[in-house]
Chain A
Amino acid sequence: MSRSTRIMMSVIYWAFVVYVFVPLILMIMMGFKDSKFIGFPIKSWTFDWYLAVFSDTEVLTVFGYSTAIALLSTVVSLFVGTWIAVLLADRKFFGRAVMFGLMVLPALVPGIISAIAFRIYARVLGIEPGMFAIIWSHAVHNVPFVCLVVMARLSTLPKSQREAAQDLGADPLVTFVRITLPYLRPALIGASVFCMLLSFDDFVRSFFLGGYQPTLPVLIFAKLRSGMSPEINAISTVVLILTAFLGIWAERSMRRMKKET
Chain B
Amino acid sequence: MTSDAPTQGAAAGTAAAAGPRSLWSSLARSQPYQKFVDVLFASQRRSFLILLLPPIIWVLSQHLGPIVQMVSVSFTDAYPRPPGQEAKFTFDNYLLFFREPVYMMPFMRTLIYAVVLTFTTLIIVYPVAYFLARHVKRENRMALLLLLLIPFWVGEIVRTFAIMILLGNTGAVNLILKSLGLIDRPIPFMYTGFSVSVGIIYLTALYMLMPLYSALEKIPASYTEAAADLGAGAWTRFRRVTLPLTYEGIGSGATLVFLISTGYYGTPVLLGGPNTTVFAETIAGFFHVAGDKWPTGAAFACIMFLASLALTGAFLSGMNRLSKGGRK
Contact = CB atoms under 8 A, between A and B. Distances in A.
Given A12-B128, A114-B263, A251-B146, A24 B154 contact: yes
B15 interface: no
Contacts of B51: 83, 86-87
B188 interface: no
A132 interface: no
Interface residues of A, number: 88
Contacts of A183: none
A110 B24 contact: no
17 contacts: A10-B135, A80-B55, A102-B63, A110-B260, A110-B263, A111-B280, A112-B264, A118-B66, A170-B28, A174-B24, A200-B155, A202-B155, A204-B265, A224-B270, A232-B161, A236-B162, A251-B146
A80 B62 CA distance: 11
B147 A9 contact: no
B287 A16 contact: no
B155 A13 contact: no
A116 B298 contact: yes
Interface string A91-110: 10100000100110110111
B273 to A, nearest CB: 13
B154 A201 contact: yes
B159 to A, nearest CB: 7
Contacts of A19: 202
Interface of A: 1-2, 5-6, 9-10, 12-13, 16-17, 19-24, 26-27, 30, 37-41, 80, 83-84, 86-87, 91, 93, 99, 102-103, 105-106, 108-121, 123-124, 140, 143, 170-174, 177-178, 197, 200-204, 207-208, 217, 220-221, 224-225, 228, 232-233, 236, 239-240, 243-244, 246-248, 251-252, 255
B250 interface: no
A113 B135 CA distance: 40
Interface residues of B, number: 87
Report which residue of B80, B131, B153, B175 has the largest number of chain A beta carbons within 10 angstroms of its beta carbon: B153
Interface stretch (B3-11, B86-94, B166-174, B316-324): B166-174
Interface string B265-297: 110011000000000100110010000001001
A91 B51 CA distance: 11
Nearest to A30: B165
Nearest to B65: A121
A116 B41 contact: no
